[in-house]
Amino acid sequence: MASKRDFLIVVTAAWLLSGVPAGAQDFEQAPIHYSQAQPNNRVSILIDRIHAGQVKLNYDPQTGFLTSLLKELDVPVSSQMLVFSKTSLQRHRISPQSPRALYFNDDTYVGFCRLGDVLEISVADPQLGAVFYTLSQIEEDKEKFVRQRDNCLICHGSSQTKEVPGHVVRSLFVDPSGMPLLAAGSTRIDQTIPLEKRWGGWYVTGMHGKQKHLGNLVMHGRDVPSNVDNSAGQNVTDLKDRFDTSEYLSPHSDIVALMVLEHQTDAHNYITRANFLTRQALHYQESLNKELNEPAGHLWESTKSRLKGASEPLVEYLLFSGEAPLADKIAGTSKFGEEFAARGPRDSRGRSLRDLDLEKRLFKYPCSYLIYSDSFAALPKEAKDYILKRMYEVLSGQDESKPFAHLLAADRQAILEILRDTLPDLPDYWKGTAAPAGS
Comparing CA positions, the residue from 115, 116, 154, 152 lying closest to residue 133 is: 152
In this structure, how many other beta carbons lie within 10 angstroms of the beta carbon of residue 228? 15
End-to-end CA distance of the chain: 41
pLDDT in tens, the chain (439 residues): 444 444 344 334 333 333 333 444 489 899 999 999 999 999 999 999 999 999 999 999 999 999 999 999 999 999 999 999 998 888 999 999 999 999 999 999 999 999 999 999 999 999 999 999 999 999 887 779 999 877 777 777 778 888 899 999 999 999 999 999 988 889 999 999 999 999 999 999 999 999 999 999 999 987 787 788 999 999 999 999 999 999 999 999 999 999 999 999 999 999 999 999 999 998 888 777 777 777 777 777 788 889 999 999 999 999 999 999 999 999 999 999 999 999 989 999 999 999 999 999 999 999 999 999 999 999 999 999 999 999 999 999 999 999 999 999 999 999 999 999 999 999 999 987 555 665 5
The DSSP symbol for 417 reads H
What is the Cα–Cα distance from 11 to 289, expressed in whole angstroms?
A: 14
pLDDT of residue 20: 35
Global confidence as pTM = 0.91
Comparing CA positions, the residue from 169, 276, 184 lying closest to residue 223 is: 184
pLDDT of residue 41: 97
Comparing CA positions, the residue from 112, 266, 87 lying closest to residue 171 is: 87
Q: Are 317 and 274 in contact (CB under 8 A)?
A: no
- Angle between helix 381-395 and 409-422 (nearest 10): 140
In this structure, how many other beta carbons lie within 10 angstroms of the beta carbon of residue 212? 19
For the stretch 373-377, contacts whose Cβ atoms lie closer than 8 Å and that sit 24 or more positions apart, written own/partner, are 373/106, 373/107, 373/124, 373/268, 373/271, 374/41, 374/107, 374/124, 374/126, 375/107, 375/124, 375/125, 375/126, 375/268, 375/271, 375/272, 375/275, 376/271, 377/126
> Residue 177 contacts by C-beta under 8 Å, 6 or more apart in sequence?
86, 95
- Give the alpha-carbon dihedral of 182, 187, 189, 194, to 10 degrees: -140
What is the Cα–Cα distance from 151 to 46, expressed in whole angstroms?
A: 23
CA distances from 340 to 32, 222, 255, 384, 415 (A): 32, 39, 13, 26, 18
> Residue 197 contacts by C-beta under 8 Å, 6 or more apart in sequence?
171, 187, 189, 213, 214
In this structure, how many other beta carbons lie within 10 angstroms of the beta carbon of residue 198? 25
- Altogether, the residues listed in the chain come to a count of 439
What is the Cα–Cα distance from 253 to 255, expressed in whole angstroms?
A: 7
> Residue 392 contacts by C-beta under 8 Å, 6 or more apart in sequence?
398, 416, 427, 429, 430, 436
What is the Cα–Cα distance from 83 to 65, expressed in whole angstroms?
A: 20
